[in-house]
Amino acid sequence: MQFRVGSLSALEEGQIPLRIVHQYNKHLPLRLLLLFLLLGVGLVVFLYVSMYTYRCIGIHSVEPSRIQTHEGCVEGLESWIRPPSNLVHEMNDTELFWCASLVPTIQNYPFNRTPKIAFMFLTRGPLPLSPLWDRFFEGNDRLYSIYIHSSPSYDPDFEPSSPFYGRQIPSKVAEWGRMNMCDAERRLLANALLDVSNEWFVLVSEACIPLKNFSTIYTYISQSHFSFLGAFDEDSPNARGRYNWGMEPEVNLSDWRKGSQWFELSRKLALAVVRDTLYYPKFKHFCRADSCYSDEHYLPTMLTLQSTRSLANRTLTWVDWSRGGPHPALYDEADLTESFFKDVVDGGSCMYNNHTTNLCFLFARKIAPSALDHLLSNSLEFFGF
C-alpha cells in the first residue's frame, strides 16, 4: 500500500525516483492487473453508452432499405404492421427464410387486419397479359398484393401507376423441372410472408388469366377451409415411377404425390414450405431433372405429409393437357370463346368445403399474348369485370 502512495506523489511531482521505479517493477503484476481492470470498466461503460445510443437514436450500420423493413415494434406497432415499402433487399435465401419464419404466437391481432391475397407471378420475362390483370385488380387495393419473380436479367418497365410497378423481388435463375424452380416458389412465399396482412398465396404465371371478378375469387379463396394444391397418388411411370428409394424413411413410396405447381396456400402452409428443412434436402438430392420434376412433386408430397387435412387436393388453375406432349396447349383468340369460358367455369364438378360445386377453376393457362386485345374487349362478358 505504501508503494501506491509513493507512486502517486511521484507522478504529481512529474518525476519518478529510481527507488520507486525499482519497487514498481517488483509489483508489476499487481499494477498490470489494476490497469486491465480499469480498461475493462472503461470498455463496459463504452459499450453500454453505444448500445443506448443505438437503441434510442437508431444509428444503424445497415442500408436504409433494411431499416425501413425491420424497425420492429419499438418504433411503434404501425411500423411493424406496415408492409415493406420496398421489395428490394440484400438478404440471401437463408436470411430471408429466417425473417419470413418469424411468427406471432398470439392468435388475435391487436389491430384491424384486412387479410390480403398475395398474387405471386413466376415468370421468365414480361407479363404480356398484365393489362387484363390491371382491370381485375382495379378498386381492390386493400385486398391484394403482387410479387414478381423473373429471370434476374429481366428489367420490368411498368408505369408508376401500375399495380405491378416495383413489385419485383430479388430473383435467381429458375428452370422448369429443377429444384431451383422450387427455390423461386419458396422465395416468392418468403417475400410475401414479410407482409403480415397476406393471408393467402396464389402462384400464377405470365400465361395465366383470372376467370372471375375479384370479389368472387376473394370470397372463394377466403371462405375455403382447404388450400388448393393438386396432390394425387398414381401408380404410373410419370407419378410413382419418379420416386427414388433414397428418400426413405422421410418420404416413403406411399407418401409420394404429384400435382401441378400452380397452388393457392394459406399462411400456415406457406410458412411450412419456407421453414422446411426435412424434405427439401431429400428432393434436392434425389429428385433431379430428366427422371424427376421437383416442381410437380416437392410441394404436393411435402404438404401431404405435413398437413394432409388442410389440402383440397386440386388446383384452381385450369390447363389443357389433352393435346399431348410435355407442355400443355397454348390457347389463342380463336379458342377463347364465350362457350369455352362457360365450359371451363361452370362445366365441372368438384368438392368445395365438403360440398359439390360447379365452380372448380378460378384461373386458366396457357393463354397466348396475342389474345390480349380480344380478352380486354370481351372481359365483362367472359369474366364479369
Which 3 state secondary structure label does DSSP give 151? coil
Told to check if 245 binds ligand NAG by CB under 6 A, we report no
Q: Closest distance between ligand NAG and the C-beta of residue 335, in Å?
A: 22
Q: Which of 313, 315, 317, 379 binds ligand NAG (CB under 6 A)?
A: 313
The reply on whether position 354 binds ligand NAG by CB under 6 A is: yes
65 counts as binding ligand NAG under rule CB under 6 A: no
- Nearest alpha-carbon partner for 253 in 304, 179, 295: 304
The C-alpha cell at 262 is 400452380
Q: Check residue 264 for interaction with ligand NAG (CB under 6 A).
A: no
Q: Determine, following the binding rule CB under 6 A, whether residue 370 of this chain makes contact with ligand NAG.
A: no
Interface with ligand NAG by CB under 6 A: which range of 31-39, 166-174, 306-314, 327-335?
Answer: 306-314
Of 9, 86, 215, 337, the residue at the interface with ligand NAG (CB under 6 A) is: 215
Q: How many CA atoms lie within 13 A of 182 on its CB side?
A: 25
The yes or no reply on residue 378 touching ligand NAG (CB under 6 A) is no
Spatial distance between the Cα atoms of 173 and 185, rounded to a whole number of angstroms: 12
Task: Determine which residue in the list 23, 68, 216, 244 makes contact with ligand NAG, applying CB under 6 A.
Answer: 216
How many angstroms separate the CA atoms of 37 and 218, rounded? 66
158's CB contacts (< 8 A; 6+ apart) are 130, 164, 165, 166
**Segment 221 to 240, residues that bind ligand NAG, using CB under 6 A:** 225-226
Q: How far apart are CA 117 and CA 142, in angstroms?
A: 10
Shortest distance in whole angstroms from residue 97 CB to ligand NAG: 9
CA–CA separation, 241 and 103 (whole Å) = 38
Q: Report, in Å, the least distance between residue 202 CB and ligand NAG.
A: 18
**Nearer to ligand NAG (CB atom), residue 305 or residue 344:** 305
Q: Which of 369, 317, 322, 323 is nearest to 344 (CA)?
A: 317
- In the bound state with ligand NAG, the residue whose beta carbon lies nearer, of 198 and 379, is 379
Three-state SS sequence of 355-368: EEECCCCCEECCEC
190 belongs to the binding site for ligand NAG (CB under 6 A): no
Among 2, 85, 92, 349, binds ligand NAG (CB under 6 A): 92
**Exposure of 147 in the CB half-sphere (CA atoms within 13 A):** 32
The residue among 75 and 95 lying less far from ligand NAG, judged by its C-beta, is 95
The helix-helix angle for 294-307 and 267-274 (nearest 10°) equals: 110
In the numeric block, the cell 374487349 is attached to 377
Positions that interact with ligand NAG (CB under 6 A): 92-95, 213, 215-216, 225-226, 249-250, 252, 255, 304-305, 308, 311-313, 353-354, 384
